[in-house]
Amino acid sequence: MRTGVVIIMKSIFLTLLFLATSALAQPSPLKAFPEAKEGQQRFVIAVPQEEREDAFKVELVLGKTVPTDGVNRHFFGGKLEEVELKGWGYCYFELTELGPMAGTLMGVSGDEKPVDTFVPIHHTLPLLRYNSRMPIVVYVPAVVEVRYRIWKATEERKGNKG
């Protein structure tokens, strides 16, 4: 009886040892990405695994929290570029331009207190492919926040017959 317990304990130990060493041997995909430059920060977005990942997309929402009048709608202009990591097959995104804040010009009474508001940066990057196996890496100036939305397609399909 005692030797059976020892054999089971050894097999459990060897299994755990194998799992630990194989996990350590897996290269981290983040090693391919450079560190953030001076004055920048790096955001890493890891989305959860889904059964049908082709039905999902990711929208990057970049912006700054700034005081506004709370009445007008504001935005920043910006240029978000996709940069390929040569030799890796990966890409990352970098905000290379950040324009001044603009907005609507509705009159305000002047009695409003400033309100801290997340003001988005408008960019032309389309929705991104959803991939739970690869993180989305974004480099932005230190004053910029990175948020994201996950979009899901419905099962319903529309279109013309024929």
Other C-beta atoms lying within 10 Å of the C-beta of residue 151? 12
Per-residue model confidence as pLDDT tens digits over 38-64: 999 999 999 999 999 999 999 999 999
Confidence tier at 24 by pLDDT (50, 70, 90): very low
Pair 137, 33: CB distance under 8 Å: yes
Structure tokens at 11: 């097999």
What is the rounded distance in angstroms from the CA atom of residue 150 to the CA atom of residue 1? 55
3-state secondary structure of 105: coil
- Residues 6 or more apart whose Cβ sits within 8 Å of residue 108: 69, 71, 72
Please state the pTM of the whole predicted model.
0.76
- Taken in order of first residue, the domains within the chain and their CATH numbers are 30-152 (2.60.40.550)
- Tell whether the torsion through CA atoms of 87, 91, 97 and 98 is positive or negative: negative
